[in-house]
Amino acid sequence: MDLKFATIQEIKSLIEKKEVTPEQVLDFYLEQFAVIDPTIKSALEVFDKASILKSFSGKGLLAGIPGLIKDNINQEGRIASCGSKILENYTAAYDATVISRLKEEGALLVGRANMDEFAMGSSTETSAYCKTANPWDTSRVPGGSSGGSAAAVAAGLVPWALGTDTGGSVRQPAGFCNLVGLKPTYGSVSRFGVIAYASSFDQVGVFTHTVYDNALVYSAIAGVDEKDSSTLDLAKKDYTENLTGKFPTGLRIGVVENALEAAELDPEVKKVVEQAITDLEKAGVTVQRISLPALDYAAATYFILSRAEAASNLARFDGVRYGFRAPDIANLEEMYTKTRHDGFGQEVRIRMMVGNYVLSSSHAGKYYNKAKKVQRLIRGEFNEAFKDVDLLLMPTQACPAFKFGAYDDNKLQMDLQDYFTAAVNIAGVPGISIPCGFTDSGLPIGVQLIGPHLSEEKLFQVGHAYQQITDWHKKNPKV
């Protein structure tokens, strides 16, 4: 039995036909972790078989399907480290809502995925525990901050995984690893039990090989939650029901021209994305070129607002209530400063300092308040664009997966990894990255489709139809 790179849809069919049992499926993937993950290092922890099966409901949309969970999403009784030393021994006291829903739908949750510390990074290099490798080239990063989740699915260790997307942290790794990566509408998936980075941008997202599988997992986790007042009043539904494999009649896609002409865009990425546009036109989709001028300000706006929210959210980690506490301290002030200095990594400390700076009374007017105004401008441009087109299209990533340490001396360039993704979070709309080709050296590239609020169903329909006319998602790394 070889289920490596099998889709959820395929595994469900095998289980339903009784050709394989959920326990056999679990055994297969646990063996894959044991053999392959010492090289990839996608998981911070793989749970033992007995504890995984203990919560198995035996029925539901994902019955018997193993998946991996990013380590900033609480799983009751499991460590939730957020990739940080400051939470290295913190055990979650309850399940996040998405975890409860996955268990109700029969999913087998096999472990904790590595991640950039507190979801701050674009390479999974800032984790306090290890650096995750890209299965397509283990000298390169898988993207971030949900790099562990992406690498596990790309390497065939699980058929799906959860990540979180604050400024592109699901879609960019999906692009780097040849996966489908969804960032849903803000509020469509509960954040209860998700350790916050920037609360007004954070959203739980999904990694899979196919759009169909992505719709299936989204169906399991989406919907209103009384424990999260930011969730929208969405009734439970199966988002795979209307995936016919055909493009919707009269579909209009707006290609964001200034994104394709951006100086930050690698020429090979542009070439591959342009071919994807050509493929859509050949399939009969109406494509028109549009401009989103405010896109040029999205990365800077996200830089300011996300760090401001991070400074506030991470103030709770002080060594008093839970998590790491520095030893050999003389007084309360020293406990605060030493705990936070030793417990947080450099990237997190820098982002908190920037956040406190832009929130300070003498600088808030120059930075934070202006950024909030630009956020309204960006949202307005998206809303105007969707009056003329159904979906927007632009690259997912600025460049192919890069080598470890490539931006150690150029942090500003690393921040530009969010150039094509952050605007989607700022606007609160859904976006999905879909495999669309490779560079000449064999590195994956993703194309990003963006829709208006609560247009996930249309994104799935279009993405699924695109995967019927292309086979990029069927290509897998040699691991």
Taken in order of first residue, the domains within the chain and their CATH numbers are 8-251+391-474 (3.90.1300.10), 297-369 (no CATH)
Q: Is 373 an annotated catalytic residue? A: no
Q: Which residues of the chain have pLDDT under 50?
A: none
Catalytic one of 12, 42, 55, 70? 70
**Over the stretch 415-430, which tens digit does the pLDDT of each residue have?**
889 999 999 999 999 9
- Laid out side by side, the sheet with 66-70 consists of 43-46, 108-113, 66-70, 160-164, 204-208, 180-183, 431-438, 444-450, 391-395, 252-256, 286-290
Told to judge if 145 belongs to the known catalytic residues of this protein, a careful annotator would answer: yes
pTM of the model as a whole: 0.98
Q: Give 273-310 pLDDT, tens digit per residue.
A: 999 999 999 999 999 999 999 999 999 999 999 999 99
Residue 411: its pLDDT value, please? 83
Can 70 be counted among the known catalytic residues? yes
Kindly name the residue from 42, 145, 146, 455 that is annotated as catalytic. 145
pLDDT score at 251: 99
Residue 136: what pLDDT?
99
Instruction: Out of 146, 169, 190, 433, pick the active-site residue.
Output: 169
